[in-house]
Amino acid sequence: MSALSNHRFLKMNGLGNEITVLDLRGSLHVVSSAEARAIAADSRSRFDQLMVLHDPVSPGTDAYLRIYNTDGTESGACGNGTRCVAWAMLADPIMSRPVHEGLVLETKAGLLPVTRVSDTVFTVDMGPPRLSWNEIPLRDPYPDTRAIAVDTHIPEHPELQSPSAVGMGNPHAIFWVENAQAYDLTAVGPKFEHDPVFPERANISFAEVVSPDHVVLRVWERGAGATRACGSAACATLVAGARKGLTGRKAKISLPGGDLLIEWRESDDHVLMTGETQLEHEGFFVPALFAGAA
Ligand SMILES: N[C@H](CCC[C@H](N)C(=O)O)C(=O)O
């Protein structure tokens, strides 16, 4: 029987980005790719990202997070999911521990300090953007001048040229477009996600600049598809927009699921993301879910 059978989970969302939170602190079990896909396939626990809490690794941190996409692959960052985890660690009657408000979470990509703004609103310090080609990563070297403009290789879409590339603990490509609604994400997204210029694939964004402090964004996520919001994409977009002179260092990013406030702080180069979280329901994994999932 799987260690996850009958285990409790929370189904949450961050601006409609579907998040399932699973607390494995105190257990050595690591969710396999097949288990993640099985959890995603069930309508009660369906997710764009599965956020799994493990015991803290680095001194001074409160939990180590593993983040899974719908297809079972792992990511180093998920802004919307990190806010949901913070809510669970501070407010869920079972997951919360003796409360202190300044949480520090850790992923394979680094540290994520979180502060609570109100009951359901949190600010995540997503750290500094990764702007060199080998950190994003890109296949080929690019000089690090303005927002890196990448040469993509999708001949069917000649109108989509030279997206900006930014790493936020995961790889992002941002196309600057006149109308973000004009693109069929399902048709275009997967092609660019798998463009060979991105050796670890990429999250693909379509950004429409309304004003220097307001951008409309739609995102095709690596490993998860079109989602209603993507926090790290909003951060990557603000960074790339500021570097290109299209935005200031602080802007509202409007996604289909709602707005995020993003600030690229001058003093320490960190990107701060503020937004809502919502609890939908709790549940328990039925053992049959994992039949056949190693
Ligand atoms: N939805 C997430 C990002 C998921 C990124 C994931 N699709 C990947 O890079 O593999 C967010 O709010 O930041």
Residue spans of the chain under pLDDT 50: none
Task: Write the DSSP assignment of the chain as a string of letters.
Answer: --TTTT-EEEEEEETTEEEEEEE-TT------HHHHHHHHHSTTT--SEEEEEE---STT-SEEEEEEETTS-EES--HHHHHHHHHHHHH-TTT--S--S-EEEEETTEEEEEEESSSSEEEEE--PPB-STTTTT-SS----SSSEEP----TT-TTS---EEEESSSEEEEEE-S-GGGS-HHHHHHHHHT-TT-TT--EEEEEEEEETTEEEEEEEETTTEEES--HHHHHHHHHHHHHHTSS-SEEEEEETTEEEEEEE-TTT--EEEEEE-EEEEEEE--GGGGTT--
- Over residues 219-277, the pLDDT tens digits come to 999 999 999 999 999 999 999 999 999 999 999 999 999 999 999 999 999 999 999 99
Q: Which of 36, 78, 238, 246 is catalytic?
A: 78
Dist. CA 69 → ligand 1 center (Å): 8
Ligand 1 atom closest to the Cα of residue 76 is 9
pLDDT at residue 147, as a whole number: 64
pLDDT at residue 91, as a whole number: 93
pLDDT at residue 118, as a whole number: 95
pLDDT at residue 143, as a whole number: 74
pLDDT at residue 271, as a whole number: 98
pLDDT at residue 148, as a whole number: 80
What the chain holds in terms of domains, given with CATH numbers, is: 8-127+278-290 (3.10.310.10), 148-269 (3.10.310.10)
- Over residues 4-13, the pLDDT tens digits come to 999 999 999 9
Dist. CA 154 → ligand 1 center (Å): 23
pLDDT at residue 213, as a whole number: 98
pLDDT at residue 41, as a whole number: 96
Probe residue for ligand 1, chosen from 69, 217, 221, 276 as the CB with the greatest number of ligand atoms within 8 Å: 221
pLDDT at residue 285, as a whole number: 97
- Over residues 205-221, the pLDDT tens digits come to 999 999 999 999 999 99
Determine whether the shortest distance from the Cβ of 69 to ligand 1 is under 6 A: yes
